[in-house]
């Protein structure tokens, strides 16, 4: 990936927004991204709000694109390249069950940023071969409900095999272990809870020696 500083800081929205309380959720998410923008800390924001209607995901994404305008933040939409394109976002983040990476690349072009979820070396390798810009490998550290963590040694082995392909670490990332993930070779770190808190986020950025 070119044009982005490293380590990549990748904020994922909390996934708690609902259509019934959309106005409140929309404001809270926009404020979280505004705070991150003021820190000058975040490179990508992934809109991961599966409880919202497509119409509201589009509205939220459009708002976040406006918040990010004039900054280095790229807005990515989880699993919905159509919404990302319609809102003028930078690109999409694809799950393992999403439309294949190469199909999205063919349809939306080289400038459309594509991130892909990965849970193994095989997943990350496939993402690289199919034209993704990066893979988000998880879970690296202990995360409630996400099963056995892969651990920093496994992360290191993946990064060594895919030396020229960015692998971003996700799963239990906080200010105590973000530096460990970077030291293992990760191109960046991603997270939800800690990354949406400005105090924790600033500490994470400090730990990865931005």
Q: pLDDT per residue over 75-86, tens digit each?
A: 999 999 999 999
Report the pLDDT value the prediction gives residue 41, as an integer from 0 to 100: 84
Closest alpha carbon to 72 in 128, 8, 16: 8
Residue 112 tokens read as 């459309």
Helix (H) or strand (E) holding 103: helix 101-108
Architecture of the domain defined by 8-207: Alpha-Beta Barrel (3.20)
Report the pLDDT value the prediction gives residue 1, as an integer from 0 to 100: 43
113 - beta bridge partners?
91
Closest alpha carbon to 59 in 72, 70, 49: 49
Residue 21 to residue 85: CA distance in whole angstroms: 25
CA dihedral for 178, 180, 181, 182, sign (positive or negative): positive
What is the pTM (predicted TM-score) of this model?
0.95
Domain chopping of the chain, boundaries: 8-207
CA dihedral for 162, 168, 173, 179, sign (positive or negative): positive
Residue 153 to residue 194: CA distance in whole angstroms: 23
Residue 164 tokens read as 């020229």
Residues lower than pLDDT 70 in the chain: 1-4, 210
Report the pLDDT value the prediction gives residue 210, as an integer from 0 to 100: 56
Is 83:63 a contact under the CB 8 Å cutoff? no
Report the pLDDT value the prediction gives residue 4, as an integer from 0 to 100: 61
Residue 160 tokens read as 């060594």
Residue 167 to residue 158: CA distance in whole angstroms: 8
Close Cβ partners of 195 (under 8 Å, ≥ 6 residues apart): 9, 10, 11, 12, 36, 42, 173, 201, 204
Which residue pairs from 50-57 have beta carbons closer than 8 angstroms and sit at least 24 positions apart in sequence? 50/15, 50/78, 51/15, 51/16, 51/17, 51/18, 51/19, 52/17, 52/18, 52/19, 52/22, 53/19, 54/80, 54/83, 56/17, 56/19, 56/22, 56/26, 57/83
């Amino acid at each position: 990936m070119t044009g982005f500083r490293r380590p990549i800081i990748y904020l994922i929205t909390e996934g708690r927004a609902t259509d019934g309380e959309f106005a409140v959720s929309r404001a809270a998410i926009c404020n979280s991204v505004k705070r991150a923008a003021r820190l000058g800390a975040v490179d990508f924001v992934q809109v991961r709000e599966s409880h919202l209607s497509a119409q509201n995901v589009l509205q939220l994404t459009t708002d976040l694109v406006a918040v990010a305008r004039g900054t280095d933040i790229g807005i990515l939409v989880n699993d919905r390249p159509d919404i990302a394109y319609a809102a003028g976002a930078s690109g999409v983040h694809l799950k393992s069950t999403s439309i294949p990476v190469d199909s999205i690349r063919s349809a939306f072009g080289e400038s459309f940023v594509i991130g892909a979820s990965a849970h193994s070396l095989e997943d990350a390798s496939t993402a690289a071969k199919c034209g993704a810009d990066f893979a988000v490998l998880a879970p690296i550290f202990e995360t409630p409900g996400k099963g056995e963590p892969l651990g920093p040694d496994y992360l290191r082995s993946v990064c060594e095999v895919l030396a020229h392909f960015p692998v971003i670490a996700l799963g239990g990332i906080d200010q105590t272990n973000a530096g460990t993930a970077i030291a293992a070779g990760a191109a960046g770190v991603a997270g939800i809870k800690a990354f949406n808190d400005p105090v924790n986020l600033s500490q994470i950025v400090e730990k990865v020696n931005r």
